[in-house]
Structure 1
Amino acid sequence: MRHTRVTPFTYALGHRTYMWLVDLDRLPVLPRLLRPLARFDPRDHFGGDAPTLRAGLDAYLASRGVHDADGRVLMLAHARVLGHVFNPLTLYWCHDRAGRVVRVVAEVHNTYGGRHCYLLDPDDQGRDEVPKDFYVSPFLGVEGSYRMRLPLPGDRLDLTVQLRHPDGSRPLTATVRGTHRPAGARALLAAVLRNPWSTVGVSLGIRRHGIRLLLKGLPVTARPPSTASAHPAQEKTL
């Protein structure tokens, strides 16, 4: 993962981690001893009150008038590791029954405990642009739009989210790149050993870089009350 800020000064940060690409109707079933290292909980997504992840997604799509995304759904996300999870961005590639990607849902979590979904109608390159209407960073307001390029992952993962302001500037670009590996027990243990408590690392990294930007003099933008907390995010140890 990499974020690059270009205004009012250039600042780049990167973080190595691992994520899961799973079928919402066929979530991984791990050996009992490994289950604390990867758990998918419906409380961590959407309203947090659906019985399953698929039910939460279907309810969201129905609320937006989408009824043709009734085929396979692939989700890219962090799993809970030892009870903790934080997903800055969770993606859902929603197919119709013919196997075509008809919608992409981008679910964003902020470090204030809020979550918000953007519904995309991507072109054949996985691209779409949506208005920004959720407060994520204390250094950015909610004006502008997100230009997203979210092609369906294959052997390689190559995603881009770019913030665009009304004046034409592009202050922030985020990229996620990776290589697909089958998630067997050995591969999972290797990933955990390389990145123990990976989602804690993501949370701490965001805060550490936020302090650095603050010390560099980047001005803080007040959090709008209406977007302070879209839903209570389950970012805690259970």
Structure 2
Amino acid sequence: MTALSALRPARPGPPALYPCTIAHVRRAPNRYALRHRTYLWLVDLDHLPMLPRPLRPLARFRARDHFTGRAPSIRAALDGFLAEHGIDLRGGRVRMLAHARILGHVFNPLTLYWCDDPDGALQCVVAEVHNTYGERHAYLLHTDVAGTAEVAKDFYVSPFNPVDGRYEMRLPPPGERLRLSVTLQRPGSPPFTASVHGTRRDVTATVLLRLALRHPWSTLMVSAAIRFHGIRLFLRGLPVQPRPGRRTPESAS
């Protein structure tokens, strides 16, 4: 089956699906590793995919699920964030890698935005982090030619890691392969690493239905898996770190 024409934007950069494996490796104080299979969307923020009506419950993209949740569109929210940092893309393309809202539910531990200027040159990457407490925080990154950037950790994510240290993020733009990693470096502690590996698929009804059946309620399963593994770590004696004041709350979903 050919890619659904309704899903193709009017300019270069059709949406894509990435069946992928997400892995976390914690090395201290107890070594612990987990792997989770899911799938992600890569979309152009100016040309979000519109699925045929029967498939729309399987993929929706809502502005309320990103940044403050109050902007009229995800693109407007991103542009507002960039403007606060003195960046104007002048209409350049933005590619977003994220989970879509599926059957009314979404949870995105990490949403990535590759931001181009009007000539197609990458200007910056924005990494938007969501935690399981309904809070969000975005990092502005200027990556090198390998797609790598470092930034100070400034957001409470895991109850087992305090808000300190630095992230080393390797975020090359997705192509036929998706290879991303985030490593938390803290003084005196072995690094904690998360990685995402996947392979690009064209968006067709067949591919989407196959992935939805293979990973039902995928975003709900992601948030449930995070809580389940958190409980296991707590029962193994990993100390919980106090959570600082609240960040921007998520809109009701």
Range into which the TM-score falls when normalised by the shorter chain: over 0.9
TM-score normalised per structure 1: 0.95
2:182: which partner in 1? Answer: 161
What is the alpha-carbon distance in structure 2 between the residues aligned to residue 193 and residue 3 of structure 1? 24
Q: Indicate conservation of the 8 Å contact 1:113/1:235, yes or no.
A: no
Unaligned runs of 5+ in 1: none
Q: Indicate conservation of the 8 Å contact 2:89/2:115, yes or no.
A: no
1:72: which partner in 2? Answer: 93
Unaligned runs of 5+ in 2: 1-21
Pick the aligned partner of 1:109 from 111, 121, 130.
130
User: How do 1:65-214 residues align onto structure 2 when only pairs under 5 Å count?
Assistant: 65-68=86-89, 70-167=91-188, 169-214=189-234
58 and 85 in structure 1: CA distance in 2 versus 1, 3 angstrom threshold: same
- Indicate the percent of aligned positions where both proteins have the same amino acid: 61
Which residue identity lines up with residue 119 of structure 1 in the other structure? L
Which has the larger displacement, 169-178 or 114-123?
Answer: 169-178
TM-score normalised per structure 2: 0.90
Task: Note the C-alpha offset of 1:234.
Answer: 4.0
Q: Indicate conservation of the 8 Å contact 1:106/1:117, yes or no.
A: yes
**Is 1:57 the counterpart of 2:74 in the alignment?**
no
What is the alpha-carbon distance in structure 1 between the residues aligned to residue 248 and residue 62 of structure 2? 15
Task: Note the C-alpha offset of 1:69.
Answer: 6.3
Which residue identity lines up with residue 232 of structure 1 in the other structure? P
Q: Indicate conservation of the 8 Å contact 2:96/2:114, yes or no.
A: yes
What is the alpha-carbon distance in structure 2 between the residues aligned to residue 218 and residue 70 of structure 1? 47
SS at the partner of 2:95?
A: strand
1:216: which partner in 2? Answer: 236
Root mean square deviation, CA, Å: 1.1
Q: C-alpha deviations, 1:81-106, integer Å up to 9, x for none?
A: 01000000000000011111110000
62 and 178 in structure 1: CA distance in 2 versus 1, 3 angstrom threshold: same
**Is 1:31 the counterpart of 2:48 in the alignment?**
no
Normalized per residue, the structure richer in strand is 2
Which stretches of structure 1, 4 residues or more, deviate above 6 A after TM superposition? none
